[in-house]
Chains A and B, each alone.
Chain A
Amino acid sequence: MVANIITGLMGVLSLKIFLMMNIGVLAGMVFGSIPGLTVLMAIVLLLPLTFGMDALSGMMVLLGAYCGGNYAGSIPAILMNTPGTPAAAATLIEGYQLTKKGKARKALEMALYASVIAGLISCFSLLIVAPLIAKVAIEFGPAEFFSLALFGLCIIVSLSAKNLVKGLISGVIGIYISMIGIDPIMGIPRLSFGSYDMMAGISLVPALVGIFSISEVMAMCEKFFLSHFIQDETENLTDEQIYGEGLTKQDKRSCRKTIIKSSFIGVLVGAIPGTGAILATFTAYDEAKRTSKTPEEFGHGCLEGVSATEAANNGLTGATLIPMMTLGIPGDIVTAVMMGALIMHGLPVGPALFTDHAALTYSIIIGLFIVNLFMLIQAKYYIKVFSKVRRINRKLFVSLLLLFCVIGAFSVNSSIFDVYVMLAFGLMGYVFTKFDIPLAPIILALVLGPLAETSLRRALIISRGSYLIFVTKPLSLVFILISVASLVMSLSKQNKKYTKLSVEEGIHEQE
């Protein structure tokens, strides 16, 4: 392992890679610091740019955007009471109160300090845990891979949807779309209408750009139409009033324990597919409040609260890569996109990464450490600049987003067909969002669908058509049982909600 780490380190020690990391961090920070734009959108739009690069440079750009965007979501949360990313929702509880007290600089620096420490802890956990899981996963056969893909899909469906049926609808449609093109086992064209473009299948990037960016642009236009563009509440305040004094050694010391504890919460939550940053940040916030010496300060501008939420948020960054890199199961949508990037660079996702491409894999992991350090440098020196990004002209920005969406979709295969695909998915994403149908399952299904189908059919060929192969293999059985359990638990959660409602109604009627 030490040899692999050294090889990995040698791989990233180049000016070109450092430049790519910084570009990624910068792009992530710009997107993260603008409310309404997400880390995911930054990564989706950067993804096509990485095709012309080698795999390591491409991944460094994306990981830079991931880390930078995750941190930068705290900037508008602290300064504007508006989370730049959904994960920063917990940060605004304390962060904005600190801004109102004239301590924004303290809050911003604490968010950065916590984010970097958590990011490094998360990388370390990835470095230690991932190779161990990969060692076990290398023994997997088609039956295990099918069960694993099923597990990934079920867990995302059950956790991302408020309504399980809607989550299932999204997932099933996603798998169906992933089947367009040439059949992976027998080579027969499916659902292609005789078109060569369709025979190549639906490319992941146009689908991603459409579902997340075009639908978001449409939502922005709707907000504009309804005059809901977010106003900067701190616009009339001077920089002196907003920023105040910086973080002291005493501040850092008082929050150190909280940061480390919250980082591990982030790592644990992140390593479980489908859980997400919001769960991690609010759990860390509650835990910090519960164990704080001054819990009464929470809610009134407490630095410890900011450190807890931001540490948990960035503690996820490395941990979400664990299931993706070792098992080929993305922990969330962002890692699903990164998985797509690895696939497009011709790399096998899953345990084979650690055996067939060990040098590259370790370079990516070591690179993630360095990305966090670059994030520290960029944010420290340009924090005021990033905080002004929020004042960007939104009207111009919307049209530029459209331009990047079109170029991004086109650049995958230099095909205008991909632009049409992107637009079709954009409409689908917008309509799905309107009806509260989650988008995560459809993307996960697009990524995992081919793996699930190929593994299922290969397993059935091995077993001569017997489905018992999935329950006679112990690991496969375990994954199937967890998948079923996740769906049953989701149903039971909905049932509890219903029962609670009925009881409340009963009380209401008696009154």
Chain B
Amino acid sequence: MACLIDEPLYGENTVKSYTEKTIVGFGTLVTGSIMYFLSSTQIKEVDKYVGMAPQDMPLVLSKVTIGLAIIMFLEAFFTFKKAQKTGQFQEEEIHFYGFPFMIYGIMWVYALLLGGIGYFISSIICLSLVVYLLKEKAIKNYFVLCGVIAVVYIAFGIGLNIPLGRLGILF
């Protein structure tokens, strides 16, 4: 089992490493279970085949994923034991900040608006909001943004024949 442990290195944050591996193990286990469930329910079983059925490979992969999750848990356990032995406990965790997720949320809104109100209005609203949230104060840059949105429409929609017009009712 020792060979599976690549961390902690001396001076490295073992609490972070242990927590990280536990979360990755848990996430992988959940993913593997969902994969197994989907492979069993979302693929029509075929009886007559030579070699390998369509559902075989997804099922094998989901089992492998669950196996990897178990190995990850074992790694986390051994890392924890090591941390206990060396006393390398430091209070630091993996941080997720709200701001990137807020921008991510705006991207979803943008994608949904694109299909409804079209390219121009949704791009101007959502991208200006992103620039505003990034604390841009110069008004001229908002105009630059609008200009680029228009240029992109001309370049893609007309120049490269990519039908942005089908995105929504207003272009």
Contact = CB atoms under 8 A, between A and B. Distances in A.
B100 A419 contact: no
Contact of A226 (B43, B97, B131): B97
A243 B10 CA distance: 42
Nearest to B8: A501
Given A221-B100, A423-B108, A169 B43 contact: no
Given A221-B103, A414-B162, A179 B57 contact: yes
Contact of B111 (A395, A406, A492): A406
A123 B152 CA distance: 34
B134 A52 contact: no
B97 A214 contact: no
A100 interface: no
Contacts of A189: 44
Contact of A494 (B3, B35, B38, B43): B3
A419 B2 contact: no
A395 B136 contact: yes
Contacts of B141: 393, 395-396
Nearest to B5: A498
A463 B20 CA distance: 44
A268 interface: no
Contact of B61 (A172, A395, A423): A172
B162 A163 contact: no
Interface in A441-498: 453, 456-457, 459-461, 463-465, 491-492, 494-495, 497-498
Contacts of B156: 407, 411
Contacts of B68: 165, 168-169, 172
Interface stretch (A311-319, A360-368, A430-438): A430-438
Given A225-B100, A464-B50, A403 B152 contact: yes
Given A176-B35, A222-B99, A435-B23, A410 B57 contact: no
Contact of B99 (A169, A221, A497): A221
B121 interface: no
A224 B131 CA distance: 12
A504 interface: yes
B38 A191 contact: yes
A436 B136 contact: no
Interface stretch (A110-118, A180-188, A340-348): A180-188
Interface string B115-159: 100000001000110110011100001001100110010001000
Contacts of A465: 50-51
Interface string A396-422: 101110111011001100101001100
A217 interface: yes
A407 B52 contact: no
Nearest to A422: B111
A219 interface: yes
B52 A460 contact: yes
Given A172-B65, A396-B144, A497-B9, A186 B54 contact: yes
A261 interface: no
A173 B54 contact: no
A426 interface: yes
A175 interface: yes
Contacts of B75: 163, 165
B51 A411 contact: no
Contacts of B72: 165-166, 169
Given A395-B134, A492-B3, A165 B71 contact: yes
B57 A403 contact: no
Contacts of B160: 49, 52, 411
Nearest to A414: B163
A190 B61 contact: no
A188 B103 CA distance: 38
Interface string A318-359: 000000000000000000000000000000000000000000
Interface string B1-38: 01111111110000000001001100110010001001
A224 B135 CA distance: 10
A272 interface: no
Contacts of B94: 434-435
Contact of A176 (B52, B58, B104): B58
30 contacts: A52-B161, A162-B6, A169-B65, A169-B68, A172-B61, A176-B61, A179-B58, A186-B49, A186-B54, A190-B54, A214-B107, A218-B103, A221-B100, A393-B141, A395-B135, A396-B141, A398-B131, A399-B131, A400-B145, A406-B107, A406-B111, A406-B114, A407-B164, A411-B160, A464-B51, A492-B3, A494-B3, A501-B8, A501-B10, A505-B86
9 closest A-B pairs by CB: A460-B51, A495-B3, A225-B99, A218-B100, A395-B134, A183-B54, A494-B6, A411-B162, A399-B127
Interface of B: 2-10, 20, 23-24, 27-28, 31, 35, 38-39, 42-44, 46, 49-52, 54-55, 57-58, 61-62, 64-65, 68-69, 71-72, 75, 86, 94, 96-97, 99-101, 103-104, 107-108, 110-111, 114-115, 123, 127-128, 130-131, 134-136, 141, 144-145, 148-149, 152, 156, 160-164, 166-167
Given A169-B72, A173-B31, A399-B131, 19 more contacts: A51-B162, A52-B160, A165-B72, A166-B72, A169-B28, A169-B68, A183-B54, A214-B107, A217-B103, A218-B103, A221-B100, A395-B135, A402-B110, A423-B104, A423-B108, A457-B51, A460-B50, A497-B6, A498-B2
Interface of A: 48-49, 51-52, 162-166, 168-169, 172-173, 175-176, 179, 183, 185-186, 188-193, 214, 217-219, 221-222, 224-226, 393, 395-396, 398-400, 402-404, 406-407, 410-411, 414, 416, 419-420, 423, 426-427, 430, 434-437, 453, 456-457, 459-461, 463-465, 491-492, 494-495, 497-499, 501, 504-505, 508
